[in-house]
């Protein structure tokens, strides 16, 4: 499989949220309010209010963050879809994989919404039971990070959560080991260590209980073959088969996010343009660090979205 002059859509995950996200799009595109309205009918919660007005602590709570990002990302995708354009491949970072699956029609929006809400609930419970932290390592040396993580694993639970891009790795660590890990990593593996504003040590074995319950919960939902190839976080290669997509999703909660490998795989297949579909520009910046030659477009407000759509019309 190879994509000539290809375009990929990528969907952001937790960490891209901010109070006020979607406000300008809401005024310009009725489908944004309609999508949040559908979510309100299904879940009985006004997530639009949380997106627009927060407060920050409420929006940053995992139970709200994941659902808010999923809804807004899907609404932005529908705006683009209405132009008649479809990407050649699609991917999402962690939570964003659910937006990707819904955009690729492997999962109904309503089903994806309920699954994301349950995922957030289970992850929040696991985080409360097994307190942990996520450390973003900037200017990181991958091999040095992996060596330190291996050494510290004798002292407690620690693992690489995200391979984001060259020089940027995220580590999940149990709370009692966080200070020691920060000191060790900052001394010899990274130029800077930043504690992320999340409520648990996601993509680690501390999420295993959540993953086990989530696997059983997923049995109640139907997955279809994807209309657009999806690159799952755990596999880092394009997939359309429903069973394979479900299996990849089942193991995602406690597994590393292979984002750099996923983007490199898409570029290797001929993708030259990436459109970040959702709030923020986290993925846009990461992708540019992976390969400066590719085009990257954000969509978080009307001017940026219009610029992206204009480029897609020429694709």
Question: Where do the structural domains in the chain lie, given as residue ranges?
Answer: 6-127+206-313, 132-199
pLDDT band at 103 (very low <50, low <70, confident <90, very high): very high
Distance of CA 273 to the CA centre of its chain: 19
In the 8-state DSSP scheme, what is residue 190?
Answer: -
Mean pLDDT of the region 111-123: 96
What's the pLDDT tens digit per position in 278-296? 999 999 999 999 999 999 9
> Do 6-127+206-313 and 132-199 share a fold?
no
E strand spans, 63-165: 89-92, 132-138, 158-165
Nearest-angstrom CA–CA distance, 73 and 106: 16
Q: Does residue 33 surpass a pLDDT of 90?
A: yes
Q: Which of 219, 220, 252 shows the shortest CA–CA distance to 236?
A: 252
Q: Judge contact between 262 and 236, C-beta under 8 A.
A: yes
CATH topology of domain 132-199: Alpha-Beta Plaits (3.30.70)
What's the pLDDT tens digit per position in 152-197? 999 999 999 999 999 999 999 999 999 999 999 999 899 999 998 7
Q: Judge contact between 87 and 211, C-beta under 8 A.
A: no
pLDDT on residue 45: 96
Nearest-angstrom CA–CA distance, 257 and 304: 27
Q: Is 249 exposed, middle or buried (0-12, 13-18, 19+ CB in 10 A)?
A: buried
Mean pLDDT of the region 242-265: 95
In the residue annotation, 94 being an active-site residue is answered as yes
Nearest-angstrom CA–CA distance, 144 and 92: 27
pLDDT on residue 62: 87
pLDDT on residue 28: 96
Mean pLDDT of the region 32-41: 98
pLDDT band at 198 (very low <50, low <70, confident <90, very high): confident
Q: Does residue 259 surpass a pLDDT of 80?
A: yes
- For the chain, the residue count is 315
pLDDT on residue 249: 93
Active-site residue among 16, 73, 93, 94? 94
Q: Give first-to-last CA distance, the chain, whole Å.
A: 19
Q: Judge contact between 69 and 95, C-beta under 8 A.
A: yes
Domain 6-127+206-313 has CATH 3.40.366.10: yes
What's the pLDDT tens digit per position in 268-281? 999 999 999 999 99
DSSP string, 231-284: E-TTT-S-B--HHHHHHHHHHHTTS-B-HHHHHHHHHHTTEEEEEE-SSSSHHH
Residue 128 neighbours by CB distance under 10 Å: 10
pLDDT band at 199 (very low <50, low <70, confident <90, very high): confident
Q: Judge contact between 142 and 183, C-beta under 8 A.
A: no
What's the pLDDT tens digit per position in 43-102? 999 999 999 999 999 999 888 999 999 999 999 999 999 999 999 999 999 999 999 999
Three-state DSSP class for residue 140 = coil
Nearest-angstrom CA–CA distance, 212 and 218: 10
pLDDT on residue 230: 98
In the residue annotation, 93 being an active-site residue is answered as no
Nearest-angstrom CA–CA distance, 260 and 233: 10
pLDDT on residue 3: 65
Mean pLDDT of the region 193-219: 91
DSSP string, 165-188: ETTEEEEEEEGGGHHHHHHHHHHH
Active-site residue among 16, 203, 256, 262? 203
Mean pLDDT of the region 3-19: 90
């Amino acid at each position: 499989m190879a994509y000539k002059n290809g375009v990929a859509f990528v969907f952001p995950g937790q960490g891209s949220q901010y109070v006020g996200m979607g406000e300008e799009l809401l005024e310009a595109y009725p489908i944004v309010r309609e999508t949040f309205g559908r979510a309100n009918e299904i879940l009985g919660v006004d997530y639009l209010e949380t997106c627009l007005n927060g407060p920050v602590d409420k929006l940053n709570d995992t139970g709200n963050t994941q659902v808010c990002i999923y809804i807004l990302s899907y609404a932005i995708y529908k705006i683009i879809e209405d132009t008649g354009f479809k990407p050649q491949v699609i991917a999402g970072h962690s939570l964003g994989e659910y937006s990707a699956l819904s955009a690729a029609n492997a999962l109904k929006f309503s089903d994806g919404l309920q699954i994301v809400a349950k995922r957030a609930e289970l992850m929040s419970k696991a985080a409360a039971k097994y307190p942990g932290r996520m450390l973003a390592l900037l200017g990181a040396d991958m091999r040095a990070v992996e060596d330190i993580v291996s050494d510290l694993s004798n002292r407690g639970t620690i693992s690489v959560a995200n391979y984001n891009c060259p020089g940027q790795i995220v580590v999940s660590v149990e709370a009692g080991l966080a200070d020691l890990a920060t000191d060790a990593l900052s001394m010899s593996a990274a130029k800077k260590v930043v504690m992320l504003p999340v409520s648990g040590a996601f993509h680690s074995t501390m999420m295993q209980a959540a993953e086990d319950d989530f696997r059983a919960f997923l049995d109640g939902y139907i997955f279809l073959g994807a209309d657009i190839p999806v690159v799952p976080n755990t596999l880092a290669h394009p997939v359309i088969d429903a069973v394979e997509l479900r299996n990849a999703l089942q193991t995602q909660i406690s597994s590393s996010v292979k984002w750099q490998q996923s983007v490199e795989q898409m570029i290797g297949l001929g993708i030259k343009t990436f459109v970040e579909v959702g709030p923020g520009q986290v993925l846009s910046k990461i992708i540019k660090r992976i390969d400066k030659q590719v085009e990257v477009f954000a969509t978080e407000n009307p001017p940026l979205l219009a610029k992206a759509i204009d480029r897609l019309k020429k694709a």
